[in-house]
Structure 1
Amino acid sequence: MKAKKSTFAFTGLIDTMRSIISVFLILLFATHAFSQQVSSQNTASVQSELASNFAVGPHIEVSLLNEQDSIVAGSTIHLGVLFRPDPQWHTYWLNPGDSGEAPTIKWQSNYDLSFKDINWPLPVGIPVAHLVNYGYEAENLLIVEVSIPEDLSPTQSLQSASIENTVVVQADVSWLVCKEDCIPGWATLTLSLPISNEANLSEHADLFKNTRQMWPSNEQKTGLFEVTDSAIVFEVNDVQPDEWKVFPFRSDLINHAAAQSVISDGTTTRIVVPRSDYFYGEASELKWLISNGEQGYYVQGTASASAPSNAANSEPASLASLAIFALMAFVGGLILNVMPCVLPILSIKAMALQNSQQSITHKLAYLGGVLFCFNLFALIIVLLQQSGQQVGWGFHMQEPVVVVLLAFLFTWIALVLLDAMAVNSNLANIGQGLVNGESAGAHFATGTLAVIVASPCTAPFMAAALGVALVSEPYVTVVLFNALAVGFALPLTLLFVSKRAKNWLPKPGAWMETFKRVLAFPMFATVAWLCWVFAGQKGAQLQFVLLSALILFCMFIYLLGQSKAPITKAFNSIAALLCFLLPVWVSTSSHLGSIEQDGQSDTLSYIEFNKDTLTRLINEEEVVVVNMTADWCITCKVNEQVAFSSDEVKTALAQEGVTYMLGDWTNKNNEILQYLNEYQRAGVPLYVVYAGSKSKQILPQILSPSAVISAINQAKEEVSNVN
């Protein structure tokens, strides 16, 4: 009888678990897009007044300018953001070249206006050490065309700034200004223009006119390109022979610093450029700009049909490589099952299999949930990359609001495991109609939750596979993500479909009640880890807010389970909800909290990762140890405790001529992501030891002190031989 009661308790537990999972999954995905937008609004490095069209940042002035002095319904106007960097400082074109970041402008208005894309002036090549960037070394105006509808109607945006018969335009501008070092900047610029029947030119009209003379021609050319083992050949017809230079839209195509060879026969111009080491795969279409410094043309290029044999010869190798990476992803998925925050969830589900005779639909539902979630991740990543954003594996863990949601999710799971509230209460039965009993939906929800909590990890074997997935064509991304999903889902799916595998499980009994409560503590440990991640993102003060909210949340949930009177239940429910909403609001408030770069500062001396600094140290024949890490990366933290905390490694890193460089990817950082992509990695950890310009060595993802020390000593020996 006890065994049956224990089994029944587990069934009720699964009902509650299912309800929790369904609610939090909805919240998780619904808030991702919002948090993606909010997280980018960090504290600006400029000082600007409210409702001002002018801002000053380090080594730059930024202004929002208008070409016309008023707004006329049914017309087209032009607005522009003027960047004035200090002498010897520069900003960037849409493709910054070897390093840097293009400016961005996000528009809002209190009227329904249509803002088009930026018109980019002709860029120039800017040498920086042995690299070349594309951008502007002097004052430059980025002009945007704005369409005014015939029926001007106010919108909900900027209502507080609305003035009768006045159009208010707000531009959220971000930029990077560089010399030898780079300084990011942000500002919100505002411009008010009256609505009238006729518009005149403003005092800035000449600046707009002069800028248009630096635009590429409106005539877009078509061209061909051919990719060889060492170069890319760009071909354009109907341009006058001249010293043309190619500026590709993609930053991974060519060696930007290499000389470009121009060959022209009068009607056809071919430009040969050494290809980048980071260009992988094939391209069917490319866009580029050709410029001689005074005029330019945008070119829409297609792959030359003259090289089909090369593509055919390379296809078997590509398929073989894809198969190898798919196998690595599959093995990596298997290893993900034993990650600390995944194993307790799978254990609960495995114990729930004791009492069920299920249909094939039920048996495969968990596999379906895993496949769904991995493919959803793949789809989000592909869509974000197609929109121009750069993301990596575990990207959602860079959002503080996602970390908060997961912290409350695991706290709630732990409370249910400890029977802090009745499993048949109304609150515990939220979502009962969607996921009922030992239903297929319950198993599906478990699969999706397991993927979400496993995603911060990068298991051995899957790192290289994910790196290829995130820098390749969408179909490669989908194939590798599905291989990872099958590997991840296989162990528990075998328990569902195989009677022999199911017999491996211990028989049900009273021990299940004890085991259920024990599983609450790994959940609390996961919550502690998530709070630590949150501290790295928002600071210790807001971590205290989150911890306090979690404690109060536990108290009110417990009181809710003990409540009898409807008023008391309502009070405790509202109080628990407020405890949840407070840290969610805190995590989405850009003006609250600050990043504390404490990291390993108390144990190891390091410098923060910077690509230009790394290049300089390599050229100076220094030994450089690069550690790419993140607070939410469990493997990273294990390596820091096992390898980098040892006295021998500290001594090796403290040697003269050795520099320890730390890249913290806890929060989004495009420079670190670009570095990871160079090594075909989609996430952290990544450890690289440079022997000056002589060689570089990628260390394994699971480190030992001896592996780090050996790599450093080998690099020092190679540098000594060079000198």
Structure 2
Amino acid sequence: MKYLVLLLTIISSVSHASESAWRQQDHSQARLIMDKSALVPGGSLRLGVWIKLEDHWHTYWENPGDSASSAVFAFKTPDGYKSSPIQFPLPQRIPVGPLMSFGYEGEVLLSSTIQIPSSESAHLGERRSLALDAEWLVCKEECIPAFELFEFELPIAETASATEHMSLFTEYDSTIASQTHTAELEHQEKTMRLEISGLPTEVQILDSLPFPGSGVNHQMPMITQNGAGSWIITHQSSDVSNTEQLPQFLLISKLADTDQTNGIVLQTKLKSGPAIGQMLLFAFLGGLILNLMPCVFPILTLKLFSFAKAASQDRGALIRSQLIYLAGILSCFWIMSLGIMALKAAGSVVGWGFQLQSPAFVSVLIILFFFLGLNFAGYFEIAGRWTGAGQGLTEKKGWLGSYFTGVLAVVVASPCTAPFMGVALGYALGQHWLVNLSVFTALGLGLGAPYIIAALLPKVSLLLPRPGLWMVRLKEFMAFPLWGTCLWLLTVLGQQLSMMAIIGVLFSLMILVFAMWLYRSLTSPVSWVLSSVASIGGLAVLVYTLQSTPNPEDALAVDDLWTPYQAETLESQLDEGSAVFINFTAAWCITCQVNEKTTFQTEKIKSYVNQHEIKMLKADWTNRDPHIAEFLARYDRAGVPLYLFYPSGSRTAQVLPEVLSPKIFIDSISL
């Protein structure tokens, strides 16, 4: 009988050598399991601590996030045995109030591998004692540390059979990141930007989690697909300057049309960058194309008018005129660049077209364009006559006119964003002031280049008609586009303030025109006094109008297609798995308004959106909004438009082109 008991004891010890009993802890329980039943010389042994957690409690990944600590394994093994670091499966984000944690709920297997030295072949049949001292933290609203010492013995054998837990190890192995990839890393203002290329086209990136010591904020990063197999991930930096080594990240990904998630360890290298050269080229091309944008149309015609006049004189005067025009463009861009840098240094979040977010600036533009229209229509002359042989401007006045035409070209161009501009300006605003100034200079050179080139080529002037009555008629005709611009700016002002602001500016204009009439019509000495009083009254009305605050109920109507953008609305819709489109726009952005009319307001797009149940959000940047500006900065954009599409069930945004059509919109989102 005693031999039977001894035999059962031996069998029991062998059958349970591959596992321990469950050990109960506060709000969790754990046991030790292994994948083999013996120690094989020159081989390996997988050990795992299998942790089960009570509902609503969690434990932590290698990087626990904003608080707490990860698990720690301490092995006690014979000489020559080596253990690997803990192998953590893919974690999940666990928000706890304002903090973000990375970890596990329900259950998890934390494993490690022990390498057995080949010298153990001389000890076949012997047994070895090993121990694992494990420590982990379980948290809910409070955190409780758990400690457990697992001791076990295993025989040394030439071969070892798999234990019943091998399938569990295999299951968790599929959730351990086994692939590696390299991304280019670029530090920008308050952000860390990762540029990834060369991934298989079917891979979709869902999340990016920093490994310990990365120096980034633990909140969800911005993830943008930038083409087939190419991605841009922007993390908010917490303290980039203190990172002593290049950070690593864990990419959570999946294959298209599957729900199985995978992990990719993302190593980084500093971006060597085509940066400055490529961005200067983009800025130049953007400035060149800006000449064709609708907001520059009145200035284009004005330049054609002055070019034809100058071409009828000597070629040297023509070249000087265009160089002075370019000087006006560059000086205005330089002032804009330095102003943006100064505002950013003071803590403001600004971008391209920021001046049009000021109702005062918009009102000044309305008055300026209105009186320019009166000048073009022949109601009064600003500085001499524009036409007629021997009746032109003096040389000095002509230069001054060319210079301020260049300044005006930049002012009226600011509502437009041409292709290439958004990327170049977004890059510039995150760089040193000298780089910023260089990019703005390249943009100005692009805007002025066509006229410099035309002036340097004698054959161009031969293609232009000679000065004559057509110039007078063209000048008068161009008053109407300028007044049309006034009407558009009035709608912008209405959205910034209210309908009463439109009435106030119109009343101010009426008084200023009355002041001009007094000055022109009355010949007595009091005419100047009456005109001055009326002018002061008109300006006073304007100042009073600008004191009004925005009244949402009185603002101009918004299309029913859109829901106003709020960060909470976007998060809610993404959590629901909805397809979401975000339109970053502004009333003063002509490119945005053209896309609105030609694409978003068409029945084809409205029907497509309803059919595919796309949630349409409009982020209106007509007035200053630092939250929208920060969102734009995450995508390296300095202004609007920016169009983002989140496919159903994805938190990864696709960036659409800046100039849209119904076909481009539908093809780009690829539903």
Give the TM-score band, short-chain normalised: 0.5 to 0.7
Paired position in structure 1 for 2:655: 698
* Match for residue 532 of structure 1 among 486, 491, 496: 491
TM-score, reference length from structure 2: 0.59
Counterpart secondary structure, 1:624: strand
* Match for residue 212 of structure 2 among 247, 250, 261: 261
Bigger radius of gyration: 2
How far the C-alpha of 1:554 sits from its partner, in A, is: 2.7
Q: What does 1:410-559 align with in structure 2 at a 5 Å threshold? A: 410-423=369-382, 437-559=396-518
How far the C-alpha of 1:361 sits from its partner, in A, is: 4.9
How many Å separate the matches in 2 of 1:709 and 1:129?
Answer: 39
How many Å separate the matches in 1 of 2:581 and 2:588?
Answer: 21
**Kindly tell me: are residues 128 and 683 of structure 1, through their superposed partners in 2, closer, same or farther at Cα, counting changes over 3 Å?**
farther
Please say if 1:331 is aligned against 2:285.
yes
**Kindly tell me: are residues 484 and 597 of structure 1, through their superposed partners in 2, closer, same or farther at Cα, counting changes over 3 Å?**
farther
Do 2:192 and 2:216's aligned partners in 1 also have CA atoms closer than 8 Å?
Answer: no
How many Å separate the matches in 2 of 1:346 and 1:254?
Answer: 39
Please say if 1:638 is aligned against 2:594.
yes
Q: Deviations over 1:669-691 (max 9, x none)?
A: 11111111122111111111111
Q: What does 1:369-384 align with in structure 2 at a 5 Å threshold? A: 369-384=328-343
How many Å separate the matches in 1 of 2:242 and 2:642?
Answer: 36
How far the C-alpha of 1:393 sits from its partner, in A, is: 0.3
**Kindly tell me: are residues 276 and 128 of structure 1, through their superposed partners in 2, closer, same or farther at Cα, counting changes over 3 Å?**
closer
**Kindly tell me: are residues 277 and 506 of structure 1, through their superposed partners in 2, closer, same or farther at Cα, counting changes over 3 Å?**
farther
Do 2:191 and 2:237's aligned partners in 1 also have CA atoms closer than 8 Å?
Answer: no
Paired position in structure 1 for 2:327: 368
Counterpart secondary structure, 1:342: helix
Do 2:325 and 2:403's aligned partners in 1 also have CA atoms closer than 8 Å?
Answer: yes
Paired position in structure 2 for 1:666: 622
**Kindly tell me: are residues 128 and 557 of structure 1, through their superposed partners in 2, closer, same or farther at Cα, counting changes over 3 Å?**
farther
Do 2:192 and 2:237's aligned partners in 1 also have CA atoms closer than 8 Å?
Answer: no
How many Å separate the matches in 2 of 1:609 and 1:707?
Answer: 23
Q: Which amino acid aligns with 2:279?
A: F
* Match for residue 275 of structure 2 among 307, 321, 341: 321
Paired position in structure 2 for 1:387: 346
Do 2:216 and 2:237's aligned partners in 1 also have CA atoms closer than 8 Å?
Answer: no
Counterpart secondary structure, 2:584: strand
Q: Point out the more displaced range, 339-348 or 621-630.
A: 339-348
How many Å separate the matches in 2 of 1:659 and 1:675?
Answer: 18
Paired position in structure 2 for 1:579: 538
Q: Deviations over 1:565-620 (max 9, x none)?
A: 22123312331342134223422x2x54424586664x433221122321231232
Q: What does 1:342-353 align with in structure 2 at a 5 Å threshold? A: 342-353=296-307
Counterpart secondary structure, 1:401: helix
Paired position in structure 2 for 1:613: 569
Q: Which amino acid aligns with 2:594?
A: V
How far the C-alpha of 1:518 sits from its partner, in A, is: 0.6
Please say if 1:252 is aligned against 2:191.
yes
Do 2:184 and 2:269's aligned partners in 1 also have CA atoms closer than 8 Å?
Answer: no
In structure 1, the gaps of 5 or more residues are 1-96, 99-124, 134-227, 234-248, 263-269, 281-285, 290-299, 426-433, 716-723
Paired position in structure 2 for 1:400: 359
TM-score, reference length from structure 1: 0.55
How far the C-alpha of 1:448 sits from its partner, in A, is: 1.2
**Kindly tell me: are residues 130 and 259 of structure 1, through their superposed partners in 2, closer, same or farther at Cα, counting changes over 3 Å?**
farther
Q: Deviations over 1:119-156 (max 9, x none)?
A: xxxxxx994789759xxxxxxxxxxxxxxxxxxxxxxx
Counterpart secondary structure, 2:463: coil
- Give the number of the structure with larger relative contact order, counting CA–CA contacts within 8 Å between residues 6 or more apart: 1
Q: Deviations over 1:321-340 (max 9, x none)?
A: 33222222212111222333
How many Å separate the matches in 2 of 1:511 and 1:231?
Answer: 58
Paired position in structure 1 for 2:664: 707
Counterpart secondary structure, 1:628: strand
How far the C-alpha of 1:314 sits from its partner, in A, is: 5.2
How many Å separate the matches in 1 of 2:529 and 2:216?
Answer: 72
Paired position in structure 1 for 2:607: 651
How far the C-alpha of 1:260 sits from its partner, in A, is: 6.5
Q: What does 1:183-198 align with in structure 2 at a 5 Å threshold? A: none
Do 2:287 and 2:447's aligned partners in 1 also have CA atoms closer than 8 Å?
Answer: yes
**Kindly tell me: are residues 420 and 689 of structure 1, through their superposed partners in 2, closer, same or farther at Cα, counting changes over 3 Å?**
same
Counterpart secondary structure, 1:343: helix
How far the C-alpha of 1:305 sits from its partner, in A, is: 10
CA RMSD, Structure 1 to Structure 2 (Å): 4.0
Do 1:232 and 1:273's aligned partners in 2 also have CA atoms closer than 8 Å?
Answer: no
Q: Point out the more displaced range, 374-383 or 555-564.
A: 555-564
How many Å separate the matches in 2 of 1:477 and 1:616?
Answer: 37
Q: Deviations over 1:61-119 (max 9, x none)?
A: xxxxxxxxxxxxxxxxxxxxxxxxxxxxxxxxxxxx99xxxxxxxxxxxxxxxxxxxxx
Q: Deviations over 1:258-282 (max 9, x none)?
A: 57637xxxxxxx97988996799xx
In structure 2, the gaps of 5 or more residues are 1-64, 67-92, 102-181, 195-206, 225-235, 248-267, 385-392
**Kindly tell me: are residues 340 and 229 of structure 1, through their superposed partners in 2, closer, same or farther at Cα, counting changes over 3 Å?**
closer
**Kindly tell me: are residues 232 and 329 of structure 1, through their superposed partners in 2, closer, same or farther at Cα, counting changes over 3 Å?**
closer
